[in-house]
Amino acid sequence: MMYLDNSATTKPFPEVLQSFMKVANDYFGNPSSLHGLGMQAERLLTQAREQIARLLEVKPTEVIFTSGGTEGNNLAIKGVAWQHQQRGRHMITTAIEHPSVTEACKQLEQLGFQVTYVPVDERGIVSPTHIEQALRDDTILVSVMHVNNEVGSIQPIEQIGMLLKKYPKVLFHVDGVQGAAKVPLHLKRANVDLYTISAHKFHGLKGAGVLYVREGVRLSPLLSGGAQEMQLRSGTENVAAIVAMAKALRLSVEKYHESSARLGEMKRALIERLQAIEGIVVHTPFEQSAPHIIHFSLEGVKSEAFVHELEKQHVYVSTTSACSSRKKAPSKTLLAMGVEKMRAERSIRISLSYEQQMEHIPIIVEAIERAYERLKIVARGTK
């Protein structure tokens, strides 16, 4: 089996599963309880928070545990909106954000907020100048993803963060779900106020995530209850999944230092081989893109049919993002990049992990070629 849908979710590391089972079985107490089992769970929660803070180079009190990327993005965007609506009701984001950002913004628009969706260039990259031009006196938040989940383009987060230093009342949120442990980002130097990650994108378990909230930033909580997580996220913490997430992040950061150069070489080799196939257009830029994502489109073949044809060879890829793939809609990111609708409807995403090796590249390309040829024969036969 060749699993190439790691941007949708990753396979948990064995050590991560072992940590989860150990904590779930032996330290199952509620971390808010006063008895010994509760205090054991609380200590593990504290240790996980400290470890994640070290890896992100932030303070432990700035680490808020969530259920994942969607909750983290919603808490950041809506939390800023509710807290700061008296100062302003305008927000800025880009045309290529994940649905958990765009849908949160659309919901706020229905409630009277105004959102500016800044365009991107043909590489899928937003201009810091365009961000600055969209700023208004009543702007309260800028939200820009670090790595695009469809084509892998890396946004100029550091440059945007630096320009926002001139506008201290505007908060800066970064959706880091696709970038964490794959594309380095120093949150303090980049002037980031809010940063979202999700465990299952770096070989942790689904249902655990982190929202970094810079010290001094005020948010209105989305959930009312027992005031856990610095009073920002009520609900009993999933201690086992959080401990497993801390281990997954540590192991993934280690893997990055060991294997990121090889992953980049694999991406380049794969793009070069794909570009040589007639009818395929690669949409991921060579430069300023993440090392694990390759996005391309197929002429004359439906993307859903290609995914299933490739699956017959036990090779697993996706169309757009996992959240949008079942809608059978064209890639929003490709449309924003100026790609024609027909191409955007026939796009495929390959997303690698550190498990893949360079010798896998010919196997992947040959499987793609076989699947593509079979579908073109079928398409010709139906005309």
- Host H or E run for residue 143: strand 139-145
pLDDT at 137: 97
Residue 106 has pLDDT above 90, yes or no: yes
Using alpha carbons only, give the angle 176, 177, 180 rounded to the nearest 5 degrees. Answer: 70
pLDDT band at residue 381 under the 50/70/90 scheme: low
- Supply the pLDDT for residue 286: 85
Residue 323 predicted with pLDDT over 70: no
* Tally of residues, the chain: 383
**Cβ neighbourhood burial of 196 (10 Å; 0-12, 13-18, 19+):** buried
Cα dihedral across residues 41, 47, 50, 55: positive or negative: negative
Section 284-295 average pLDDT: 94
Cα separation of 246 and 250, whole Å?
6
Q: Check whether 322 has a pLDDT greater than 60.
A: no
- pLDDT recorded at residue 110: 98
Dist. CA 112–CA 222, nearest whole Å? 18
- pLDDT bin (cut points 50, 70, 90) of residue 329 is confident
Task: Return the number of other C-beta atoms located less than 10 Å from residue 128's C-beta.
Answer: 19
Q: What is the pLDDT of residue 266?
A: 95
Treating both helix axes as pointing N-terminal to C-terminal, what angle do 14-26 and 239-275 enclose, rounded to 10 degrees?
170
Q: What is the pLDDT of residue 321?
A: 53
CA distances from 7 to 67, 112, 150, 352, 353 (A): 17, 34, 8, 8, 9
Q: In terms of C-beta distances under 8 Å and separation of at least 24 residues, what long-range contacts does 213-217 make, across chains too?
A: 213/62, 213/64, 213/76, 214/58, 214/62, 214/187, 215/59, 215/61, 215/62, 217/171, 217/193
Residue 382: the pLDDT is: 64
Q: Tell me: the pLDDT tens digits for 234-288?
A: 999 999 999 999 999 999 999 998 999 999 999 999 999 999 999 999 999 888 9
Residue 168 is predicted with a pLDDT of 95
- Catalytic residue list contains 105: no
Average pLDDT over residues 344-359: 94
- Mean pLDDT within 277-306: 94
Residue 378: pLDDT band (50, 70, 90) is confident
pLDDT of residue 108: 98
Average pLDDT over the chain reads 95
pLDDT value at position 377? 84
Element (H, E) at 3: strand 2-3
Residue-wise pLDDT tens digits, 117-151:
999 999 999 999 999 999 999 999 999 999 999 99
Overall average pLDDT of the 324-353 stretch: 87
Structural domains in the chain, CATH included, are 2-7+258-368 (3.90.1150.10), 14-250 (3.40.640.10)
Q: pLDDT, tens digit, for every residue of 30-61?
A: 999 999 999 999 999 999 999 999 999 999 99
pTM (global) more than 0.85: yes
What whole-number percentage of the chain has pLDDT above 70? Answer: 97
305, 323, 363, 365: the active-site residue: 323
Q: Poorest-confidence range of 79-88, 160-169, 174-183, 324-333? A: 324-333
pLDDT at 327: 59
Quick: pLDDT tens for 171-183.
999 999 999 999 9
Mean pLDDT within 338-362:
94
pLDDT value at 103 more than 80: yes
pLDDT at 371 over 70: yes
